[in-house]
Amino acid sequence: MEQAYEATRRAFSQTLLRLAKNNRHIVAMTSDSRGSVTLNAYAEELPEQYIEMGIAEQNLVSAASGLTSFGFVPFVCSPACFLSMRSIEQVKVDVAYSATNVKLIGISAGVSYGALGMSHHSLQDFAVMRAIPNLAIIAPCDAVQTEAVTEVIAAFQGPVYVRLGRNPVSQVYAPGTDCFQWGKAVELAVGNDVTIIATGEVVQAAVTAAKQLRQQGIKARVLNMHTIKPLDNEAVLRAARETRAIITVEEHSVMGGLGGAVAEVLGQHQPCPLRIMAIADEVTPSGSQSELLAHYGLDAAGITACVTGVAREAARDRAFK
């Protein structure tokens, strides 16, 4: 069967339009990013439920918080690099501290903007958002899961940050699959040698790597940790008990993201070998998203090579003991 490709931002916009047609309280808000979020159809069909704030992310978030007082459900759509940096005080105070029903949608996250360089790369959003109490963080892996996430958060009462990419990504789930349960990781591959915990758009690369590893005799468990906060601690601890090592994979800085969250759980409850695969703590170069992911070893080949080395080290340590 031919692999399907679709951008998560497009799946989000189509789902939001469908939901908003049946709920006049849903409002889409953007910061001069209607085209980037692919909300053109939404704005044309539901102009009274669409607000363009211009390049003013702080005002965007504060205004959205105010709208919740009147029963509206605002979806704040903006490039993740700006939403998570420029408006972080408003996210902290107006959204999280005030527990307003705002849905923050960070578009073109990670290195989606590629050639635009570090100013447009969003590699700190997990770290910043994780440190803010009362704020859930979700990173769907493909269009199918994005649709499910959008439906769930529209009905959820409370603040949420959802991280989406920009470019078409391969399909992990078949349409109609029950692929999202709040705070519960999804096991995509079975294995007891090592566990790969991935989030967002690198999940597909982790699944592909697991297939390649099996050909080498390494059985890798793959967990789609779509919810960064609240993290599925039990899935992490079970992996630590049942496999020899854990490798985390994310399109984020090596500091403070999924790897940091997993390390916090393991360090306090179940120490085990851990390798964090992420973007190095350096000024990121320019290039296409695929080039940058390959550069940092976050493609299937890089993950396979890393896991192979970790599995051998874990097996050697176990044999020595």
Q: Which of 20, 314, 251 is nearest to 124 (CA)?
A: 251
d(CA 25, CA 249) in angstroms, rounded, equals 37
Residue 277 phi/psi, 5° resolution? -100, 115
As given in the structure block, the two tokens for residue 182 are 């709040």
d(CA 65, CA 59) in angstroms, rounded, equals 10
The H or E element spanning position 199 is none
Instruction: Give the CA angle between residues 164, 165, 171 to the nearest 5°.
Output: 95
Q: Which of 27, 217, 252 is nearest to 122 (CA)?
A: 252
Cis-peptide, bond into residue 140, ω within 30° of zero? no
The H or E element spanning position 196 is strand 194-198
Active site residue 57: yes
**H runs (alpha helix) in 46-140:** 57-68, 80-83, 88-90, 125-130
Residue 318 phi/psi, 5° resolution? -70, -40
Considering the candidates 57, 147, 250, 251, report the single residue annotated as catalytic.
57
The H or E element spanning position 117 is none
As given in the structure block, the two tokens for residue 102 are 């705002």
SS (H, E, C) 91-105: HHHHHHHCCCCCEEE
Distance of CA 245 to the CA centre of its chain: 23
As given in the structure block, the two tokens for residue 79 are 């490039």
Report the catalytic residues: 57
